[in-house]
Amino acid sequence: MNGANFQRDKTQFAVFVKPWKNLSLPKLALHVQELGFNLIELPVRPGFPIEPDRIEQDLPGAVKLLAELGITIVNLTVELPLTDERLYAACAANNISMNRVIFKRSHPSYWESEAAARRQLDAALPLCERYGVKIGVQHHYGASVPINSMGLYQLVKEYDPRWVGAIWDPAHNALQGEDALTGLELVQSHLCMVNLKNAYWRRTNPPDGSEARWGAYFCAGPHGRTSWADVAEGVKRVGYSGPLTFSAEYTDDTYTDRLLEADLAYARKLFDGE
């Protein structure tokens, strides 16, 4: 992480700044501070302030500018192939130690898709080792690999956790039917990041006798299928001490800022007793 001196006595909270892609970096820094954050996960994606093809040219200035405004980048999520050396060189040059990834299903067969994800990780390992940059793999419900905590452990267990880590997400964990305490225990050996969001399944067609269809609804922290109180207990039980990152993902994004501020206050109460 780029020069961060994290306090030991308080939980550190970060936020993924995807919802505010249209803000300039100075305005983004001011906005997230007003919401209560000084740590961020930064997307390097098309249409965002830093474009993937310009990561080497633009990341240094962004890191410097944000640092001057009191904002630290804890990790990136970069839309480049895992074998693109520019990703690792830019991270290393700017003291950023992790890139978060989600693998999409690439084949009808889950096992073939998992094998394809593993081939990507295998090909990226030499770059991870050369530049000292970790790949953090997040599980995600639906058409992804993996879809749950057990699948995440299955994918990363043979890799050195210095270079391939597990990013655990309680919302996706619950959507796939796993409880928080079990999910965290499963990925403990490789745990490198914990997301904070919540969700539940909501019927999307009328109850008129036809087969029910369901969609994931991302909601405020207290109202989803997973218990954030269990998340807090699990985080303490496995000894995770890094930042907890709010995904700032709400299906009704009209109220993103208000919901995020309330969720931050709720998390501070659960994790720190505030």
Q: How far apart are CA 168 and CA 181, in angstroms?
A: 11
pLDDT in tens, 138-187: 999 999 999 999 999 999 999 999 999 999 999 999 999 999 999 999 99
CATH architecture of 13-272: Alpha-Beta Barrel (3.20)
Read off the amino acid at residue 221: G
Q: What is the pLDDT at residue 87?
A: 98
DSSP one-letter code for 17 = -
pLDDT band at 1 (very low <50, low <70, confident <90, very high): very low
Instruction: State residue 247's pLDDT score.
Output: 97
pLDDT value at residue 8: 40
Beta strand 214-219 with 198-203 is antiparallel
Give the C-alpha separation, 150 to 247, whole Å.
21
- Reduced to 3 states (helix: H, G, I; strand: E, B; else coil), residue 117 is helix
CB atoms within 10 A of CB 141: 18
Residue count of the chain: 274
In sequence order, the β-bridge partners of residue 244 are: 13, 194
Tokens of 133: 């940059």
Residues 113-138: tens digit of each pLDDT: 999 999 999 999 999 999 999 999 99
User: Is 145:202 a contact under the CB 8 Å cutoff?
Assistant: no
Q: What is the pLDDT of residue 9?
A: 63
Torsion sign over Cα 16, 22, 28, 32: negative
**What does the mean pLDDT of the chain come to?**
95
Could you tell me the pTM of the whole model?
0.93
**Position 2 confidence tier, pLDDT thresholds 50, 70, 90:** very low
Mean pLDDT of 245-266: 97
